[in-house]
């Protein structure tokens, strides 16, 4: 793998001043998306920040400080959290955070089990049951299934009654984020959500729809609203059925995120520390977050982008950001201020974010060159999309399978029983990447679910692009 030029490598520690500034950059990058999840689901912002910080530190420890990854709130679990929040609730508007905690702890346990299996069996079995034709449409369902939530927040402030002031605020927020992401560069381009929320919040104040009364009810420093202070996780087959299928999809995203980061820092994180450790670290973080009463954690593309732009891959910087996030959760006035952000503002950025999630599912299909002229691909995608977005429900005893969870399970079953499985893994063309010039060109490639080593006889230019190739030898290391 090509060794890029880094300002700080993974184990290098900046001086104190630079350390703080570089860590704050990562906090800014993750902040908007991280606080958006509790704002939508009703989970405590304070616990979310503590969970993100603590989860990231646990991940760093479990990966032996070899992977500069920040873990923040996962959008994939918003819909399951909203569903689980209503389990066993007798009154309208009631919430059951204990059920959510149990479901997310189950997800963490599933991650740990899969990490153990990968340690001994590798990832081939996971690729077998989760081809791109299942992963892509399932991610689309996650995004589009949340579309009504975003629109309701944007134009009704969550009340169900249309109000043009709320829609105006939502549109200001939305277009600010769009402008920042398309017409700026550097770090600013990495925080369009945070800037969009800030501008939307200011406009909401001008429209008179921000209520600051809650600030007087909180101290500067106070204990976060941990679940164990007022209740305990409430396990049931129903909540497990809601959460468990999502775990398989997010694990696939976890692997993809680590491959991207590997290419940025020039170290194969899937080998060292290895997927068994990275998935276990992610799982332990989500298990801890669930117990505390926060949302599930996941790797953050925003922070990976910061690493790519700044060329700072120091795990010390990521750890510093985690510590800052952890202590922010104990600043009562700060977390209370976050809760004053109107739903219209969050609805504005949600329109963009939920659409991006759906689009990333389409990108999975495009990147893998899935052929929709093949009948099996057309059928699997169609069934996943309609059952997931349409809200189909199957109830077996007291266990209910619905929405995205049912769509994912249905897609997996169809993939396993329909003929011509190879059609669901996309193009078989070999793409040469990560060329290392050292006498010969050695290339490591994950292609068509196989680990390949490609030896190329020839030369390359100053950018590592192969030319004058005389022969290519592909060695299958499956």
Cis peptide before 158 (omega within 30 of 0): no
303 CA to centre of own chain:
11
Is residue 5 assigned to a domain? no
Reading the block at residue 470, the tokens are 């005389």
Ordered DSSP codes for 172-211: HHHHHHHHHHHH--HHHHH-HHHHHHHHHHHHHHHHT---
Task: Give domain status of residue 282, yes or no.
Answer: yes
Q: How far is Cα 155 from Cα 458, in angstroms, rounded to an integer?
A: 60
| Cα end-to-end span (Å), the chain | 19
Same-domain check for residues 448 and 306: no
Are residue 415 and residue 444 in the same domain, yes or no? no
Distance, in Å, from the CA atom of 192 to the CA atom of 179, rounded to the nearest integer, reads 8
Q: Is 6 domain-assigned?
A: no
Q: What is the mean pLDDT of each run of 10 residues along the chain (478 residues)?
A: 77 93 88 89 95 98 96 92 83 80 96 96 86 93 90 81 93 95 84 91 96 91 93 89 90 86 88 95 98 94 81 94 97 93 91 89 90 95 95 79 86 95 73 41 40 45 46 43
Domain C-terminal end among 399, 425, 451: 425
372 with 465, same domain: the answer is no
Residue 258: exposure state from Cβ atoms within 10 A (0-12, 13-18, ≥19): buried
Token duo for residue 74: 């996962």
Token pair for 39: 């704002």
Whether the Cβ atoms of residue 343 and residue 158 lie closer than 8 Å to each other? yes
Same domain, 311 and 445: no
Q: Report pLDDT for 360.
A: 86
Q: Is residue 8 one of the residues assigned to a domain?
A: no
Residue 9's alpha-carbon distances to 12, 23, 312, 313, 373, in angstroms, are 5, 15, 7, 5, 46
351 and 458: one domain?
no
pLDDT for res 461: 46
Q: What six digits make up the tokens of 139? A: 């991610």
* Last-in-domain residue among 384, 403, 425: 425
Residue 380 sits in the same domain as residue 457 = no
pTM above 0.75, yes or no: yes
pLDDT, residue 431, reads: 43
Between CA 84 and CA 97 the distance in angstroms is 8
Residue 336 in any domain: the answer is: yes
Cα 84 to Cα 79, 104, 150, 204, 296, distances in angstroms: 9, 10, 19, 31, 13
Helix (H) or strand (E) holding 107: helix 97-121
Query: What b/e sequence results for 25-45 when a residue is b if at least 16 CB atoms lie within 10 Å of its CB, and e otherwise?
Result: bbbbbbbbbbbbbbbbbebbb
**1 lies in some domain:** no
Distance CA 367, CA 373 (A): 16
Whether 445 and 398 share a structural domain? no
The answer as to whether 140 is a domain residue is: yes
The length of the chain in residues reads: 478
Q: Is residue 4 part of a domain?
A: no
pLDDT value of residue 2: 55
Residues 337, 443 within the same domain = no
For 70, the 3-state DSSP assignment is: coil
Q: Is 464 found in the same domain as 316?
A: no
Backbone angles phi, psi at 34, to 5 degrees: -65, -45
pLDDT of residue 298: 92
pLDDT at 63: 97
Best CA proximity match to 30, nearest among 301, 373, 248, 393: 301
Alpha helices in 329-342 (DSSP H): 332-339
Task: Tell me which residue range forms the domain holding 327.
Answer: 16-425
Residue 336 shares a structural domain with residue 298: yes
Examine the domain organization and report whether 353 and 452 are in the same domain.
no
- Residue 410 and residue 353 share a domain: yes
Long-range contacts formed by 189-195: CB under 8 A, 24+ apart: 190/29, 190/302, 190/305, 190/306, 190/309, 191/28, 191/29, 191/31, 191/32, 191/302, 193/32, 193/33, 193/36, 193/349, 193/352, 193/353, 194/28, 194/29, 194/31, 194/32, 195/32
Number of domains within the chain: 2
Report, in angstroms and rounded to the nearest whole number, the Rg of the chain calculated over CA atoms: 23
């Amino acid at each position: 793998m090509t060794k890029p030029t880094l300002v700080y490598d993974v184990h290098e520690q900046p001086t104190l001043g630079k350390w703080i500034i570089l860590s704050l950059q990562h906090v800014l990058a993750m902040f908007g998306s991280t606080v958006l999840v509790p704002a939508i689901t009703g989970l405590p912002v304070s616990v979310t920040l503590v969970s993100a910080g603590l989860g990231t530190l646990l991940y760093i420890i479990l990966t032996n400080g070899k992977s500069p990854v920040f873990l923040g709130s996962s959008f994939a679990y918003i819909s399951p959290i909203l569903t689980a929040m209503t389990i066993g609730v007798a009154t309208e508007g009631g919430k059951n955070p204990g059920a959510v905690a149990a479901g997310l702890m189950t997800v963490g346990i599933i991650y740990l089990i899969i990490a153990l299996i990968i340690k001994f069996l590798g990832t081939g079995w996971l690729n077998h049951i989760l081809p791109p034709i299942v992963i892509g449409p399932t991610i689309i369902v996650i995004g589009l299934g949340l579309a009504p939530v975003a629109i309701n927040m944007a134009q009704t402030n969550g009340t169900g009654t249309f109000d043009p002031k709320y829609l105006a605020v939502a549109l200001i927020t939305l277009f600010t984020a769009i402008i920042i992401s398309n017409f700026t560069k550097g770090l600013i381009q990495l925080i369009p959500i945070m800037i969009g929320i800030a501008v939307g919040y200011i406009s909401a104040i001008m429209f008179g729809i921000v209520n600051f009364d809650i600030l007087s009810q909180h101290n500067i420093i106070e204990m976060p609203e941990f679940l164990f202070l007022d209740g305990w996780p409430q396990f049931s087959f129903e909540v497990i059925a809601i959460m468990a299928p999502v775990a398989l999809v997010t694990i696939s995203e976890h692997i993809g995120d680590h491959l991207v980061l590997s290419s940025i820092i020039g170290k194969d994180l899937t080998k060292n520390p290895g997927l068994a450790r990275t998935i276990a670290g992610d799982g332990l973080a989500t298990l801890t977050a669930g117990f505390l009463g926060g949302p599930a954690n996941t790797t953050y593309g925003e922070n990976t982008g910061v690493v790519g732009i700044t060329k700072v891959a120091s795990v010390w910087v990521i750890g510093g950001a985690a510590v800052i996030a952890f202590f922010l959760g104990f600043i009562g006035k700060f977390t209370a201020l976050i809760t004053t952000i109107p739903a219209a503002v969050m609805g504005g950025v949600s329109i963009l974010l939920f659409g991006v999630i759906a689009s990333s599912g389409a990108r999975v299909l495009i990147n893998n060159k899935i052929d929709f002229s093949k009948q099996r691909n057309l059928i699997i995608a169609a069934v996943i999309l309609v059952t997931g977005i349409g809200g189909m429900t199957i109830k077996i005893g007291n266990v209910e399978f619905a929405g995205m969870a049912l769509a994912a399970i249905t897609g997996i079953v169809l993939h396993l029983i329909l003929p011509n499985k190879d059609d669901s893994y996309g193009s078989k063309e070999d793409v040469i990447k990560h060329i290392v010039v050292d006498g010969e060109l050695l290339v490591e490639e994950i292609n068509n679910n196989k680990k390949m080593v490609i030896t190329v006889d020839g030369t390359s230019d100053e950018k590592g692009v192969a030319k004058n190739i005389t022969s290519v030898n592909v060695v299958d290391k499956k």
